[in-house]
C-alpha cells in the first residue's frame, strides 16, 4: 500500500525471542510470531536496502545468542526483538549504490518476511543461480565456509590421514566428510540415529559411521573405527565426545573446534578430563569463527562449484515450510530431529 | 678395582622405583636406594660410554612415568629398576668414537652414581663451561628449551601482548616470564607461596604475580591482573587454573600446553568446563614435547648465553645434596616445596 509520502507499507511477520533461555533446551514457546508493518521503499538518501527473505538458516550458534554469556563472541539477542541469522534474500528496493532491485544476496538478515538493512557488510551477492538458491544457507554459505576453513586451513589434511567428524550428518559435518574423501583421507562420522548413519555411509561416502546414542562406550567405538588412532577431529559437539577422542588422537593430531552443540543447553558444561593428552600427543586444538574468514569465499566457491555440478559433492537439506514453522525448525537442531542441513523456506520467489 | 679381564668394578648407588604410583602423591618410600656394582671400563668393540653423574634433574613429567597410562608418550618406569631422567655427567670411559674420557655431557642418564650408556642419541656435549654446569639441567637444558620452544614457537609473542604463566617460579616458568619481558610483553605469574610471588616480582621482573592458594576466586584474580584479557597462557598446571584462564583469554589467544602438574596425582583428572571459549575466542591450544625440538638447541644457546652472561636473564635453583636426598627432592615438586629449579648434586667433580 503506497502512502502519499511514497512509502509502501506491508504487513511483516516476524519471529521474536520472548526471553533469554539459559540452562535448558530452547522450546518453540520461547519464541513468538508477531506481525508488524514495514516500508518496502528505500527513501532517497537513506542508503537502505529492503530485502524479501526467501530462505532462513537454522544454525547451532544461534542457541548461544539466546542467552547472556560472559565473553561471548556472539552478540546476545534482545528479548522482545526479532531474531537474526543467515539467509538468502531478494532485493526489493535499494538506495545503496551496490545493490539494485532484483539482486539475490546471502548473508545476515532477520527472521521475518521482509528486512530493512542499513549496512550491507554482511551481505554477499549471489552470482551463480544454476544451483538451488537454498544452498547459499548451507553448502555455498556459512556452513560450507565452516567446513572449508576448518578442514583445510585449521586441520591441514594430508592424503591417507584418519579423520573423525562428530554431528557428521549436519550442515557442516556432511561436507567435512566429503572434503576428507576428496583429500584422500579415511573418514568416520558419528550421528544420532541409524538413518543418519546410513546417510553418512551410503550418500556421503564416509568409510565408517556410528550412532553415538547406541554406543555404550565411546572410547571403544573410536578404537573400533580407528585402531591406529585419529589424525584429525572436526569437533562439533564437545563434552563426552571430546573426552573420548583425546586419548585416541595420534601424535601431532589436529582438532578444529567449530562448535560444541552438546553443551549449549547445560547450566554447567560437562568437564573434559583428558586434556593431558593435548600435551602427551602434541595435539593442536584450535577454535575458529568462520565469519573472520569470509574473504576466502570466492576461492571456496571456485573449489566447490565443480564437484557440486559433477555430483562429486552432494548436500542434504531439511526444509521447513513457512516462517510459522521456523521456531520448531530451530529447536529441532538441539534434539537432533533435523536430517541434514536445517533451513526454513519463507517464500519461493 | 681392576679385575684380570681389565674390568674396573666399583659400587654404584641407585634410586629404584619400588612399584607404580597411581592416584596419589608419590612418597619417598615409593623409591629405595640400592647399591650394585658397575664396570667403569668400556670394553673394546662395545661402543659403550661410562658416565659419572654430577647433577640429576627433578622434572614433573617423571611423575607420569611412575604410572601405567594409556597412550602415554612417556615410557613408564619399570618397578624394581633404576629411574632415568635428565642430568649432567662426565665421561669416565668410552668406546664410542664421538665421546672421550673427560667430556662433559647433558641429556638422558640414570638416577645412580655411574651410568653405562649404550646409545648416546639423547646425550649432548657441553662446550661452554663458563657458567655453572648445573644450569644444563635447567636454563641451558630441557627446561630452558621448553620455555624457548613453548613461548617463541608455539605462542608467537608480539611486543605489548599480555602473558600469563602458571607454576611461574619453577624450572620453566621463571624463564618464560623473563623471555616475555625480553620480548616486550606484560607478564603475570602464579605460584604457591608468598616467597615465590616475591621472587617473581623482585628477581625475575614479572609485572604482577599472585599466590593461587590464597585467591578465593581464580577468575577474579585473573581479571584483576588482566583487565583486558590474556593473549598468551603458558600452561604448566591444568585443571582449575586452565578453566579460569579460558574465559579470560583474548580473541586469537595462544596457549602452550607444556604440562599439567596439578593433575598428575589424581585418579581422575579434574574436568575442564570452559572449552567453549576455545571456539568463541578462536583460541589455539597446542601441546608439545620438547625433546622433539632438541635440534633447535644450538640456536637456543646462541640466543640465551648473552643475556645470561649480561645478567639480563637469571636462574634460581634448589639443589639437594647427594643421591640419598634425590627421592625427597623429586617428591617435593608435587607439593611445591621446591624454590626454583629442583635438582640433585650427586658429585661435584
* DSSP assignment of A50-87: EEEEEEEE--THHHHHTS--TT-SSPPPPTTSB-EEEE
pLDDT along chain B (349 residues), means of 10: 80 98 93 98 96 97 88 86 98 97 98 96 94 96 97 98 97 97 98 97 98 97 98 95 97 94 85 94 96 95 95 96 97 93 93
Partners of residue A248 in chain B, C-beta under 8 Å = 71
- Which cell is B51 given? 658416565
- Which of A259, A260, A273 is the closest to B271 by Cβ? A273
CA distances to A231, B62, B299, B344 from B293, rounded to whole Å, are: 20, 19, 11, 25
Compute the distance between CA of residue A83 and CA of residue A66 in angstroms, rounded to an integer: 9
Q: Which of A229, A254, A275 is the best mutation test for B, with the most CBs of B within 10 A?
A: A275
What is the pairing mode between strands A186-191 and A162-165?
parallel
pLDDT band at A2 (very low <50, low <70, confident <90, very high): low
Contact B273 A269 (CB under 8 A): yes
Question: What is the per-residue pLDDT for B191?
Answer: 97
Nearest CA in chain A to B228: A71
Sequence-separated (6 or more) residues with CB below 8 Å from residue A4: none
The secondary structure of residue A248, as a DSSP letter, is G
Q: Which of A156, A163, A127, A139 is nearest to A307 (CA)?
A: A139
Q: What is the DSSP annotation of B9-78?
A: EEEEEEEEE-S---SS---GGGEEEEEEEEE-S--TTS--EEEEEEEEE--THHHHHTS--TT-SSPPPP
Q: Residues in chain B, how many?
A: 349
pLDDT band at A127 (very low <50, low <70, confident <90, very high): very high
The three state secondary structure string of A252-275 is EEEEEECCCHHHCCCCCCCCECCC
- Which of B238, B285, B288 is the closest to A285 by Cβ? B285
Question: What is the per-residue pLDDT for A85?
Answer: 97
CA torsion angle B281 B287 B292 B297 (round to 10): 60
Asked if A34 and A327 touch (Cβ cutoff 8 Å), the reply is no
How many beta carbons lie within 10 A of that of residue B69, not counting itself?
Answer: 18
Question: What 3-state DSSP class applies to B160?
Answer: coil
Q: Which of A59-73, A248-262, B49-63, B110-124 has the lowest mean pLDDT?
A: A59-73
Compute the distance between CA of residue A75 and CA of residue B279 in angstroms, rounded to an integer: 15
Contact A286 B284 (CB under 8 A): yes
Helical axes B194-202 vs B173-182, angle rounded to 10°: 30
Alpha-carbon distance A270 to nearest alpha carbon in chain B (angstroms) = 6
Partners of residue B273 in chain A, C-beta under 8 Å = 268-272
- Per-residue pLDDT of A294-305, as tens digits, reads 999 999 999 999
How many beta carbons lie within 10 A of that of residue A127, not counting itself?
Answer: 8
Question: What 3-state DSSP class applies to A344?
Answer: strand
Nearest CA in chain A to B249: A71
Architecture of domain B9-138+316-345: Alpha-Beta Complex (3.90)
Contact B283 A279 (CB under 8 A): no
- Look at the pTM and tell me if it is higher than 0.90: yes
Partners of residue A283 in chain B, C-beta under 8 Å = 286-287
Q: Which of B249, B272, B274 is the best mutation test for A, with the most CBs of A within 10 A?
A: B272
Chain A positions with Cβ closer than 8 Å to B: 64, 70-74, 238, 242, 247-248, 251, 257-260, 263, 268-289, 292
Element (H, E) at B159: none
Contact A289 B280 (CB under 8 A): yes
Question: What 3-state DSSP class applies to A230?
Answer: strand
Compute the distance between CA of residue B342 and CA of residue B349 in angstroms, rounded to an integer: 19
Nearest CA in chain A to B271: A271
Contact A289 B275 (CB under 8 A): no
Asked if B340 and B28 touch (Cβ cutoff 8 Å), the reply is no
Question: What 3-state DSSP class applies to B151?
Answer: helix
Sequence-separated (6 or more) residues with CB below 8 Å from residue A215: A221
Question: What 3-state DSSP class applies to B269?
Answer: coil
Asked if B89 and B51 touch (Cβ cutoff 8 Å), the reply is yes
Alpha-carbon distance B310 to nearest alpha carbon in chain A (angstroms) = 34
Compute the distance between CA of residue A132 and CA of residue B155 in angstroms, rounded to an integer: 43
- Per-residue pLDDT of A300-347, as tens digits, reads 999 999 999 999 999 999 999 999 999 999 999 998 999 999 999 999
Q: Is A5 a residue whose pLDDT tops 90? A: no
How many beta carbons lie within 10 A of that of residue B263, not counting itself?
Answer: 21
Nearest CA in chain B to A264: B276
Question: What is the per-residue pLDDT for B173?
Answer: 97
Partners of residue B286 in chain A, C-beta under 8 Å = 278, 282-286
Asked if A270 and A240 touch (Cβ cutoff 8 Å), the reply is yes
Alpha-carbon distance B247 to nearest alpha carbon in chain A (angstroms) = 6
Phi, psi of A74 (to 5 degrees): -90, 130
Contact A282 B287 (CB under 8 A): yes
Alpha-carbon distance A118 to nearest alpha carbon in chain B (angstroms) = 26
Contact A269 B287 (CB under 8 A): no
Alpha-carbon distance A153 to nearest alpha carbon in chain B (angstroms) = 13
Contact A289 B278 (CB under 8 A): no
Percentage with pLDDT > 90 across chain A: 90
Contact A280 B238 (CB under 8 A): no
Alpha-carbon distance A255 to nearest alpha carbon in chain B (angstroms) = 10
Partners of residue B282 in chain A, C-beta under 8 Å = 73, 286-289, 292
Compute the count of residue pairs across chains A and B with CB atoms less than 8 Å apart.
119
Sequence-separated (6 or more) residues with CB below 8 Å from residue B324: B13, B33
Compute the distance between CA of residue B320 and CA of residue B330 in angstroms, rounded to an integer: 10
Sequence-separated (6 or more) residues with CB below 8 Å from residue B284: A284, A285, A286, A287, B252, B253, B254, B255
Q: What is the DSSP annotation of A134-176?
A: GGGGTTTSHHHHHHHIIIIIIT---TT-EEEESSTTSTTHHHH
Topology (CATH level 3) of domain B142-291? Rossmann fold (3.40.50)
Q: Which of B236, B237, B278, B291 is the best mutation test for A, with the most CBs of A within 10 A?
A: B278
Nearest CA in chain A to B285: A285
* Domain range list for chain B: 9-138+316-345, 142-291
- Which cell is B342 given? 629442583
Give all strands of the β-sheet with A186-191 in edge-to-edge order: A208-211, A186-191, A162-165, A230-235, A249-257, A284-287, B284-287, B249-257, B230-235, B162-165, B186-191, B208-211
Alpha-carbon distance A62 to nearest alpha carbon in chain B (angstroms) = 13
Amino acid at each position: 500500500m503506497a502512502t502519499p509520502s511514497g512509502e509502501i507499507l506491508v504487513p511483516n511477520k516476524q519471529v521474536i525471542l520472548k526471553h533469554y533461555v539459559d540452562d535448558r533446551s530452547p522450546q518453540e514457546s520461547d519464541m513468538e510470531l508477531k506481525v508488524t508493518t514495514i516500508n518496502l521503499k528505500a527513501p532517497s538518501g537513506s542508503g537502505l536496502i529492503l530485502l524479501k527473505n526467501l530462505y532462513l538458516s537454522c544454525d547451532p550458534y544461534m542457541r548461544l545468542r539466546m542467552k547472556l554469556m560472559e565473553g561471548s563472541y556472539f552478540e546476545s539477542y534482545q528479548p522482545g526483538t526479532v531474531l537474526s541469522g543467515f539467509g538468502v534474500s531478494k532485493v526489493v528496493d535499494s538506495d545503496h549504490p551496490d545493490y539494485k532491485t532484483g539482486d539475490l544476496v546471502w548473508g545476515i538478515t532477520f527472521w521475518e518476511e521482509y528486512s530493512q538493512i542499513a549496512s550491507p557488510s554482511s551481505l554477499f551477492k549471489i552470482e551463480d543461480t544454476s544451483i538451488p538458491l537454498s544452498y547459499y544457507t548451507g553448502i555455498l554459505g556459512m556452513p560450507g565456509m565452516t567446513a572449508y576453513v576448518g578442514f583445510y586451513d585449521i586441520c591441514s589434511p594430508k592424503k591417507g590421514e584418519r579423520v573423525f567428524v562428530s554431528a557428521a550428518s549436519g550442515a557442516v559435518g556432511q561436507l567435512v566428510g566429503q572434503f576428507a574423501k576428496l583429500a584422500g583421507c579415511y573418514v568416520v562420522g558419528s550421528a544420532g540415529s541409524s538413518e543418519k548413519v546410513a546417510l553418512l555411509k551410503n550418500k556421503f561416502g564416509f568409510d565408517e559411521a556410528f550412532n553415538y546414542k547406541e554406543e555404550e562406550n565411546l572410547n571403544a567405538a573410536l578404537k573400533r573405527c580407528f585402531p591406529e588412532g585419529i589424525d584429525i577431529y572436526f569437533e562439533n559437539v564437545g563434552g563426552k565426545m571430546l573426552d573420548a577422542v583425546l586419548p585416541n588422537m595420534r601424535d601431532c593430531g589436529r582438532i578444529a573446534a567449530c562448535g560444541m552443540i552438546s553443551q549449549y543447553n547445560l547450566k554447567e558444561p560437562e568437564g573434559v578430563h583428558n586434556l593431558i593428552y593435548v600435551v602427551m600427543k602434541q595435539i593442536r586444538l584450535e577454535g575458529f569463527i568462520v565469519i573472520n574468514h569470509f574473504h576466502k569465499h570466492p576461492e571456496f566457491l571456485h573449489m566447490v562449484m565443480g564437484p557440486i555440478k559433477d555430483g562429486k559433492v552432494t548436500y542434504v537439506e531439511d526444509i521447513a515450510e513457512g516462517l510459522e514453522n521456523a521456531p520448531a525448525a530451530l529447536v529441532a537442531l538441539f534434539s537432533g530431529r533435523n536430517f541434514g542441513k536445517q533451513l526454513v523456506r519463507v517464500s519461493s520467489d
